[in-house]
Amino acid sequence: MPELPEVEVSRMGIKPHAKGQTVTKIEVRQPKLRWLVPEELHDMEGQVIRGVKRRAKYLILETDVGYALVHLGMSGSLRVIPEGSPPAKHDHVDLHLSSGEMIRYNDPRRFGAWLWQPNDGLDHPVLGKLGPEPLTDDFTAEYLFERSRNKRTPIKQFIMDNAVVVGVGNIYANESLFMSRIHPKRQAGQLSLEDAHRFVADIKSVLATAIEQGGTTLKDFKQADGKPGYFAQELQVYGNQGKPCPACGTELESVKIGQRNTVFCPDCQI
């Protein structure tokens, strides 16, 4: 599943091709995605794309009349390709641009989405109740410490809650907890302020590194230019259960937390 770094890499990949271009046509071959693609999406036709932004794992294409919100779901991807390129089986949406290029949305599992928000404020329901972006100054150790007070939820599950902070998905939660030497099953309320300082810094570091290296390619994700991400080469614990801990050599263990596989070192993480 594309996580925040992969979505941010997609944003960076399509922005130079989309910003400032006029949408000449929107072609929807398969409207039945996670939600039905709204007819109002065609309001973009004839509009200039003023910005390409991201909120959590939603890409936002901004025009004068409204915003297109794109979610990649489990297996979605965006490509920038020449006009007239023949569609493949799972190519569901094409955004035709005045430059002669297209932004093509491919999604084999159809768990992604294309949504529309008129230009009366970017307050679409899917963006409601979201926590701060992890790479901004709004996400601090003091904030995390206060939010975690009296919480009995395992810290791994807590940090993956988008109401607490957006975009810390399973891969990056595993890696950040390992770097911070925090056991994933520790109750969030047991996090000390010192722990929170270390954990927030490690989350920011892991996510920034993943974005810098082009996102994580595990199964389905590729960048807008077709090149894969390379962060998977840097994973220290995720997917490495049964292998030696890179810090102490103890065998890495795995456990299900919130129905997600969690890998940790039983000695390093307490």
Please enumerate, by residue number, every residue annotated as part of a binding site for DNA.
90, 109, 151
Q: Which of 15, 54, 55, 57 is catalytic?
A: 57
Q: Which of 19, 34, 110, 260 is catalytic?
A: 260
User: Which residue is associated with the tokens 């957006």?
Assistant: 166
Question: CA–CA separation, 235 vs 263, rounded Å?
Answer: 11
Mark whether 39 is an active-site residue. no
Q: Which of 2, 5, 134, 184 is catalytic?
A: 2
Write out the two tokens for 202: 């490690």
- Name which of 147, 192, 202 is nearest 172 in CA terms: 202
Question: CA–CA separation, 177 vs 203, rounded Å?
Answer: 8
Return all residues near 249 (Cβ < 8 A) that are at least 6 apart.
none
H or E segment and range at residue 3: none
Mark whether 2 is an active-site residue. yes
Mark whether 3 is an active-site residue. yes
Q: Which of 3, 6, 8, 175 is catalytic?
A: 3
Mark whether 227 is an active-site residue. no
Question: CA–CA separation, 170 vs 173, rounded Å?
Answer: 5
The gap from C-alpha 205 to its chain's centroid, in whole angstroms, comes to 16
Return all residues near 58 (Cβ < 8 A) that are at least 6 apart.
7, 69, 70, 71, 126, 127
Question: CA–CA separation, 257 vs 139, rounded Å?
Answer: 23
- Name which of 19, 24, 78 is nearest 51 in CA terms: 19
Annotated binding-site residues read: 90, 109, 151
Question: Active-site positions?
Answer: 2-3, 57, 260
